């Protein structure tokens, strides 16, 4: 908000607090206190603020669009068909207005004519109830509606009209309708029996669902493959969990990263707990290698389990031809990013121990307590699941569920046929020099 409106806002707050204090002290004259308070509320200097703003701001918040409804539920095709009908009607009625950026970072407290466009846009899809009315004030009703919109589109729920929120708001209704129709086909292809217990990795959402009896019992944030090294779509089964896994460096990492680092810092391998082995399994000391030779040594570079391991505490194996897997990571800050498309195809899992506990529920003696005890030992421990759990890597950028909430995600791999749907796509992202990638040679 502007300095003037901000000062007016706090002045009003101060006056209201003073009036409330006077009312509390003057218990003998409640009618007089109420009259004084009403005079303040009705004063012309209050500007264009919503009369209900101060009274109701604390009681209104963004509707939580997350639920226990799975993306791949049995009714998913029918629910997205209902959404298609809804968006067909929106298109037939002229779509929604474009929201022009009147003020950078527009948020609660702003008074600007552009807010009327924003209100209209949010009303069309039901994020803002029409009873909120038309106004140029970005009040708490609008704030709650923007947060609901952001949640439905996988954006940070901060109520601020930032770059990506504005881009998402201004995607035409016809384009969103086409996105729903494209994803109907994808959902129909996954409408069979997925198993009473299964794991779903939705690549565009960078999200994981553990589903049991048609309910999401666990949802994990993920980091998936970048556009030039995408995570593959696959239907498979999880057969193994490895606690304290080894990490074996791919040849590309050895040549491009590790050898140059060893030329600069001969202690690099030792500091990172990476050991060298020849074809017979005999360990080779780093000082026995000519790091200035034209070719990288023909040795296996294996990192021991530990905090610095590229897969941290856990690796989850499933059958696939791409050497991809799910795993923990020492780089936990990646899960806080809006762009979580940074791996080389494997899937990093936030709070992975929650998922592992669920996977090993029927595999004795692997309780959460036992899992934590073994991880603390820093010793490699492969565990075969008592019963393999189906896992589905899917590419779903739009869906709906029985709660009627229509959700959209970025078309990160540009497969939906409309360039504007890939809001955050970055190509050719390279790993920083010396970083450990998450793709590894077969063990």
pLDDT of residue 425 exceeding 60: no
Phi then psi for residue 212, to 5 deg, are: -140, 125
For 138-173, what is each residue's pLDDT tens digit?
Answer: 999 999 999 999 999 999 999 999 999 999 999 999
CA distances in angstroms from 135 to 4, 51, 105, 112, 227, listed in the order given: 19, 11, 19, 9, 42
Answer yes or no: is 24 within a domain: yes
Do 393 and 373 have their domain in common? yes
Instruction: Give the separation between CA 21 and CA 14, rounded to whole angstroms.
Output: 11
**pLDDT for position 23:** 41
**pLDDT for position 41:** 33
Give the residue from 137, 171, 205 where a domain finishes.
171
User: What's the angle, vertex CA 255, arms to CA 251 and CA 258, rounded to 5?
Assistant: 100
Q: Is the distance from CB of 212 to CB of 196 less than 8 angstroms?
A: yes
Q: How far is CA 31 from the centre of its chain?
A: 52
Do 221 and 272 have their domain in common? no
Answer yes or no: is 85 within a domain: no
Which range of residues forms the domain containing residue 318? 196-246+307-421
Give the residue from 44, 60, 77 where a domain finishes.
44
Do 341 and 209 have their domain in common? yes
Do 365 and 414 have their domain in common? yes
For 243-263, what is each residue's pLDDT tens digit?
Answer: 999 999 888 889 989 999 999
Give the residue from 300, 335, 366 where a domain finishes.
300
Mean pLDDT of 56-60: 37
Do 321 and 287 have their domain in common? no
Do 211 and 357 have their domain in common? yes
Confidence of residue 403 (pLDDT cuts 50, 70, 90): confident
Answer yes or no: is 73 within a domain: no
Instruction: Give the separation between CA 200 and CA 76, rounded to whole angstroms.
Output: 14
DSSP 254-272: IIIIIHHHHHH-TTHHHHT
Asked if residue 68 has a cis previous peptide bond (ω within 30° of 0), the answer is: no
Do 120 and 256 have their domain in common? no
Confidence of residue 301 (pLDDT cuts 50, 70, 90): very high
Q: For the chain, what is the mean pLDDT?
A: 83
pLDDT of residue 55 exceeding 90: no
pLDDT of residue 432 exceeding 90: no
Q: Which residues neighbour 421 within 8 Å (Cβ) at sequence distance 6 or greater?
A: 171, 175, 179, 397, 410, 411
pLDDT of residue 29 exceeding 50: no
Do 277 and 381 have their domain in common? no
pLDDT of residue 309 exceeding 70: yes
More confidently predicted of 100 and 53: 100
Do 214 and 261 have their domain in common? no
Do 153 and 262 have their domain in common? no
State the alpha helices, DSSP H only, in 280-409. Answer: 352-359, 368-377
Do 284 and 353 have their domain in common? no
Confidence of residue 418 (pLDDT cuts 50, 70, 90): confident
Answer yes or no: is 435 within a domain: no
For 375-400, what is each residue's pLDDT tens digit?
Answer: 999 999 999 999 999 999 999 999 99
For 68-118, what is each residue's pLDDT tens digit?
Answer: 999 999 999 999 999 999 999 999 999 999 998 766 689 999 999 999 999
Q: How many residues does the chain have?
A: 443
Q: What is the pTM of this model?
A: 0.79
Answer yes or no: is 52 within a domain: no
For 215-234, what is each residue's pLDDT tens digit?
Answer: 999 999 999 998 888 999 99
| Whole-number CA gyration radius for the chain | 27
Instruction: Give the separation between CA 181 and CA 183, rounded to whole angstroms.
Output: 5
Answer yes or no: is 60 within a domain: no
- Tokens 């140029």 correspond to what residue? 136
CATH number at residue 383: 2.40.440.10
Instruction: Give the separation between CA 163 and CA 243, rounded to whole angstroms.
Output: 41
**What's the number of domains the chain is made of?**
4
Answer yes or no: is 431 within a domain: no
Answer yes or no: is 70 within a domain: no
Do 155 and 218 have their domain in common? no
CA distances in angstroms from 394 to 67, 76, 239, 341, listed in the order given: 19, 14, 19, 15
């Amino acid at each position: 908000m502007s300095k003037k409106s901000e000062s007016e806002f706090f002045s009003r707050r101060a006056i209201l607090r003073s009036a409330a204090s006077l009312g509390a002290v003057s218990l003998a004259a409640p009618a007089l206190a109420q009259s004084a308070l009403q005079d303040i509320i009705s004063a012309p200097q209050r500007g264009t603020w919503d009369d209900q703003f101060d009274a109701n701001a604390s009681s209104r918040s963004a509707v939580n669009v997350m639920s226990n409804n799975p993306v791949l539920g049995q009714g998913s095709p029918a629910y997205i068909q209902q959404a298609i009908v809804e968006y067909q009607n929106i298109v037939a009625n002229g779509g929604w207005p474009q929201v022009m950026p009147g003020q950078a970072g527009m948020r609660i407290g702003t008074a600007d004519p552009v807010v009327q466009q924003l209100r209209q846009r949010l009303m069309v899809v039901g994020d803002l109830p029409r009873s909120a009315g038309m106004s140029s004030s970005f009040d708490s009703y609008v704030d709650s509606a923007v947060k609901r919109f952001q949640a439905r589109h996988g954006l940070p729920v901060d109520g601020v009209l930032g770059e990506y929120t504005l881009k998402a708001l201004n995607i035409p209704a016809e384009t969103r309708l086409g996105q729903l129709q494209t994803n109907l086909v994808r959902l129909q292809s996954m409408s069979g029996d997925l198993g009473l217990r299964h794991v779903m990795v939705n690549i565009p959402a960078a999200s994981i669902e553990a589903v049991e009896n048609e309910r999401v019992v666990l949802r994990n944030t993920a980091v998936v493959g970048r556009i030039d090294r995408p995570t593959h779509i696959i239907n498979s089964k999880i057969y193994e969990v490895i606690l304290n896994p080894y990490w074996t460096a791919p040849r590309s990492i050895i040549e491009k990263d590790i050898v140059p680092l060893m030329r600069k810092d001969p202690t690099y391998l030792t500091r990172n707990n990476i050991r060298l082995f020849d074809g017979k399994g005999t360990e080779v000391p780093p000082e026995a290698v000519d790091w200035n030779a034209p070719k990288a040594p023909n040795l296996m570079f294996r990192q021991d389990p530990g905090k610095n391991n590229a897969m941290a505490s856990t690796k989850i194996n499933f059958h696939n031809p791409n050497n991809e897997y799910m795993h923990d990571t020492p780089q936990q800050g990646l899960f806080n990013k809006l762009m979580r498309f940074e791996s080389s195809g494997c899937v990093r899992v936030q709070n992975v121990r929650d998922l592992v506990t669920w996977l090993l529920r029927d595999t004795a003696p692997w309780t959460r307590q036992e899992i934590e005890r073994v991880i603390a030992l820093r010793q490699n421990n492969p565990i075969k699941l008592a019963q393999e759990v189906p896992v589905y890597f899917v590419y779903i950028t739009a869906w709906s569920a029985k709660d009627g909430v229509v959700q959209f995600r970025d078309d990160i791999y540009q497969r939906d046929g409309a360039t504007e749907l890939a809001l955050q796509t970055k190509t050719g992202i390279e790993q920083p020099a010396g970083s450990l990638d998450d793709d590894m040679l077969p063990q």
